[in-house]
Amino acid sequence: MKAVRYHETGEADVLRWEDAPDPAVGPGDVLIKVEAAGVNYADVMRRSGRYHFKTDFPALLGTEAAGTVVRTGSDVKEFREGDRVFCRTTAAGCQAELVAAPVAEVLRMPPSVSFVDAASIPVIFLTAYHMLKTLAPLHSGETVLIHAAASGVGTAAVQLAKVWGARVIATASTDEKLDLVRRLGAHHTIDYTKHDFVAEALRLTEGVGAERVLECVGGDVLLKSFTAIAPGGRLMIYGRASGNLPPLPPEQIFAKNLQVYGLNIGGKPWTQTMHRAALDEILQLMAEAKVKPVISRTFGMDEVAEAHNYLSNRQTMGKVILLPPGKGSR
């Protein structure tokens, strides 16, 4: 088969669409022909050497995909050849022609959901779901400040927060992105390139601050977010797109009785059982037309370097998806 691989960390040009060994299929595995695979900022960080674990080379990328079952291991009874499925895998390897995943990581696709939409669901919606519901359940009427609201996770979080009764304040960098998040349900938007998001968030909450802040940027945005949180509020940290994760200010945390959560859905204590329950609820919300994936752009898998540059340059509004070569959009 062919797969996206890299043999050293670096800029996007280290990525290759090249021959690779077919994945091994164990007794409890499902072999999937990939029709669409999600690209996340975590892939950019892995490729550039900024992720939080050691990489062995040659390395694969991608932890979510949608496609059709090619074959199953001897112990698998839930699926058969030709079934339309999607998965979120523990190990990278979804950006390839074939991926093998344990059956616990594989879900059946609803008939009305496309391969592109299915491949976009797991990472962004699980991240948003767990920040808003699992870690600390959102209460109706809470104010949620969502940074990078036009990103993949941001677009999912805006929709889920709105569905669950929150007042949503969303930040983004362009009028086009702000228009998008308003259409998705944000009550208030802030162009952080023109306005101080802290001052605006405090103004919109009459000086109190937001009960919950979703933060993935790091650096000054992370530090300034502490001022934008209401006493007793929650800061949910799920990334550091700026590359900088500064020390947190303990005097603000204890003085304001803040709760700070970190989220990495690929590590402990998260389990496939927890993720599956969340995905079942997300699929039901999709069936009821209450939430939907937002697709920014698709690329061919042989255009993966271009996809990484597109994501790194903050051009995205929603999710970036890889398709088989020749099927990406322009």
Q: Is 288 strand, coil or helix?
A: coil
**Residue 330 banded pLDDT, cuts 50, 70, 90:** low
Rg (CA), the chain: 20
Residue range 271-288: average pLDDT? 94
CA atoms of 198 and 195, how far apart (whole Å): 9
Q: Is residue 283 part of a domain?
A: no
Does residue 85 share a domain with residue 149? Answer: no
pLDDT at 213 over 70: yes
CB burial of residue 160 (10 Å; 0-12, 13-18, 19+):
buried
Picking from 117, 114, 107, 116, the residue whose alpha carbon sits closest to that of residue 85 is 107
Q: Is residue 106 part of a domain?
A: yes
Does residue 164 share a domain with residue 103? Answer: no
The pLDDT, as a whole number, for residue 133 is 97
DSSP class of 133: I
State the amino acid at position 287 in one-letter form: A
pLDDT at 243 over 90: no
Number of domains in the chain: 2
pLDDT at 129 over 80: yes
CATH classification of the domain holding 42: 3.90.180.10
pLDDT at 329 over 90: no
CA atoms of 244 and 271, how far apart (whole Å): 28
pLDDT at 33 over 60: yes
Does residue 22 share a domain with residue 102? Answer: yes
pLDDT at 51 over 90: no
Mean pLDDT, the chain, rounded, equals 95
Q: Is residue 76 part of a domain?
A: yes
Give the pTM: 0.95
Does residue 178 share a domain with residue 79? Answer: no
Does residue 241 share a domain with residue 143? Answer: yes
Does residue 228 share a domain with residue 312? Answer: no
Does residue 64 share a domain with residue 162? Answer: no
Range of the domain at 221: 136-262
Residue range 57-75: average pLDDT? 97
